Each structure stands twice: as C-alpha cells, then as structure tokens.
Structure 1
Amino acid sequence: MSNAYSDAAARPPVKTRPVKTRYDGVMLFLHWNVALLILVAFAIAQGRGLVPRGPERTALMDVHRSLGVLVLALVALRMVWRAVSPPPPMPADTTPLLLLAAKAGHLALYALMIAVPLAGVTMTQAHGHPVTFFGLFTLPTLVGENHAFGDTLEKLHELLGTAIIVLAGLHAAAALVHQYVLKDGTLSRMLPWGNR
C-alpha cells in the first residue's frame, strides 16, 4: 500500500526554468544598434548646416531619413521580440517608485522612437518630397503636400528629437546609478560582454 510520502518520492522532480538575469542576444543587438542609429541621425541633423545647400546636403539628409526609417523598423521588431522573450526582472529589492520610474521611462522612450521617425517622414512628404530608404525603395505616401502642416511637423520633429536625446541621456545616467551607486547589476544585464 502506497502512502503520500512514497508517491511524492516516486514522481520525477519538476523542472523549472532558470530566472533570466540578462537580456538575450537579439535584444542586446537591437538595443545597442537602435541607440547608435539615433545618435548618428541626431548628429547629422545637428551638423547639416555645415554642409552647403545642394546635392551634398540633400544626400546627407536622405541618409538621416533612411536611418530614421531603420530605427522605426528595428523598434517594431524590438517590440515583437520583447513580447516573445520578456526582459529579465528588475532586482528583487527594487523599490516600487523605481519600478514605476523605469516602466514610465521605457514607455516614453518607445513612444519617442516611434513618433520621431514618423514625424520626420510625414514632414518630408508634407513638404512635397518622397522618402526613400537608402535609395532602394520609396516609402508609401502618408500625407499629401501641405507646407503649413509640414512646417508644424518640422517643429514637432525637432522638439521630439531633442526630447529623445535628453530622455536617453537620463536613461543612461539612471543605469549608471543603478550599477555603481545602488550596485544592483542593472546595467550589466544589457552590456554585450560579461556572464550570460
């Protein structure tokens, strides 16, 4: 006759998945490449005045717009991947206020990474110019030619572009505080090197 103890002993142990402590390789690739693309696109926008008006500046701004479209595509992929492969949890001793700040910051960054390129594409089209992706193909037209609307979108694009750089800087500063002041290993979860 079996008893509860022998039945429990006969059952194989339940295998549990180890808790993720780092972001996976796909998310690392997307995170750092999107960050780099945003910085390069911002640098081009800020430095465009150094290039005389003409074919050279037009080509430079075509690169700027193509980088924005690439950011938009990679962010969409990143959102899909985040749903498929959820990020590692924050350290267990993270306060509710810090958790809320982290979630709000990430949400704002994602919103800006979508809004900035979209504003740039629609601004260009409203000014009557097509948007091409590195000369390979032309994006579908989202808005008709409307220069007044284009001027409004241009101001919005510049404002949001500055906002994403400021917010990204705060995001990086927060990661450094977590890593070197709170010493909870938050930054190391997203670094390309180190233990996986």
Structure 2
Amino acid sequence: MRTSPAQPAASEPVHTSWPAPDSARRYGSVSRFFHWGMALCFALVFAAALAHYFAKDSALDQLLWQAHKPVGALLFLLWILRATWALLHARQRPPHVNLAAHLGHLALYALMLAVPAIALLRQYGSGRAFAPFGIPLMQGHEDKIAWMTELGSLLHGELGWVLLALVAGHIGMALWHRRPGHTNVLPRMLGKP
C-alpha cells in the first residue's frame, strides 16, 4: 500500500523558492540576510571601537581600527537596502510583540542611520578622500568644513555607544522572550517555524 507524504498545515505554506518571503510567522531569507549580515558588521565595528577606546595603539587596535570606517560605510549601504526592503514588505512581516518592541526597533533603525551618516558627514567635512574597500566614495578637497567635523566629533562616538547599548538590549530582549509564557521571537529571525 502506497502512503502519501504528510501535508503541511494549511496555515503554514511551504516555500520552496528563493528568496523565501516574509510572513506573519517568520522573516524571509532576504530579511534574515540583512539582519545577520548587519549583525556581523556591527560586531566588527563595535569590536574596533572598543579596542580603540580601551587599548589604543595596541596590536588589536591597529588590526581592527582599519576596518572601522569601511565597514561603517557598508553598514550605511545595508541600512538603506534593509529599510527599503522592510518598507516594501511591511504588511507581510511578523508583528511586534508589544509597543516597547516597536519603539525599540524604531530607535535602532534611527541610530543605524544617524551614526554612519554623521561619520560620513564628518569625513566629507575633513576634506580627506574616502574609498572604502577601494571604491572611491569621496574625493579629497582642501577646504575643511568646520561645522561638519565638529558635529561628527560631537555626536558620532556618543551615538555609537547608545547604539551599542540598544543592540545589547535587543539581544537581551530576544533571549528574555525565550522564557516560558513569553512569545519566543528568536525563531522568526532564524527561519524556523
């Protein structure tokens, strides 16, 4: 006697195509790529910043600091792509657990934009050329623009530390929600049911 394979539940469609789309239950492959790709970039950028702050001029600082600016520029590009993707697929994505989670994500998105944008503004104001990963992004010029460099010096580092605190809070809350009786949100970003 021949048996048929088990059929998935009607509420859980099977997606065999790539990229897997976002759904109300989990994030799709493109959203997960942006999330985890940016997480890796943030790990490198923050490791470089921490080494530069706590062990300036050490071998670790010299190794990591050279990646800080180019990876920061990459994060800016990934933010633009990620935010565009999120807006285009907003109705298909999992809902936020509560208002605090929604506001926390908005704050993360705002700082993920502001921190590298302010750094790029400072870079331009400094008059130095900038070519992350060998790609010419800014031509050098002789005139320095004081308000740009001053704004960057005033806010980039401080907002970067706030962003690090929010990222740590984001990770902490994702782990907190794994407790019994809470909505376990981590599988949404792991692509699991």
TM, length-normalised to structure 1: 0.73
**1:59-115 CA deviation, whole Å, 9 max, x = no partner?**
96553111111111111111111123231124xxx5xxxx21111111110110111
- Look up the SS of the partner of 1:180 in the other structure: coil
Decide whether the 8 Å contact of 1:41 with 1:68 is kept in 2.
Answer: yes
Structure 1 portions without partners, runs of 5+: 1-14
Aligned pair 1:175/2:174, yes or no?
yes
CA RMSD of aligned residues (A): 2.8
Query: What displacement does 1:40 show?
Result: 0.7
Structure 2 match to 1:89: 95
Structure 2 match to 1:46: 50
Query: What displacement does 1:45 show?
Result: 2.3
Structure 1 match to 2:7: none
Structure 2 portions without partners, runs of 5+: 1-9, 14-22
Decide whether the 8 Å contact of 2:118 with 2:151 is kept in 1.
Answer: no
Candidates 60, 71, 76, aligned match of 1:67: 71
Point out the structure with max Rg over C-alpha. 1
Structure 2 match to 1:6: none
- Give the aligned residue type for 1:155: L
Query: What displacement does 1:148 show?
Result: 5.8
Query: What displacement does 1:33 show?
Result: 0.9
% identity of equivalent residues:
32
Decide whether the 8 Å contact of 2:174 with 2:184 is kept in 1.
Answer: no
Residues 148, 81 of structure 1: alpha-carbon distance in 2 compared, 3 angstrom cutoff: closer
- Look up the SS of the partner of 2:84 in the other structure: helix
Provide the C-alpha distance between the structure 2 equivalents of 1:152 and 1:68, rounded to a whole number of angstroms.
17
Aligned pair 1:166/2:165, yes or no?
yes
Structure 2 match to 1:10: none
Structure 2 match to 1:8: none
**1:148-194 CA deviation, whole Å, 9 max, x = no partner?**
641331230001100111001111111111122543221211125x3
Structure 2 match to 1:32: 36
The equivalences for 1:140-159 within 5 A come to 145-147=144-146, 149-159=148-158
Deviation >4 Å, runs of 4+: 15-19, 59-62
Aligned pair 1:113/2:112, yes or no?
yes
Equivalenced residue count is 167
Provide the C-alpha distance between the structure 2 equivalents of 1:76 and 1:149, rounded to a whole number of angstroms.
22
- Look up the SS of the partner of 2:178 in the other structure: helix
Residues 110, 171 of structure 1: alpha-carbon distance in 2 compared, 3 angstrom cutoff: same
**1:34-70 CA deviation, whole Å, 9 max, x = no partner?**
1111121121123232348xxx95x965531111111
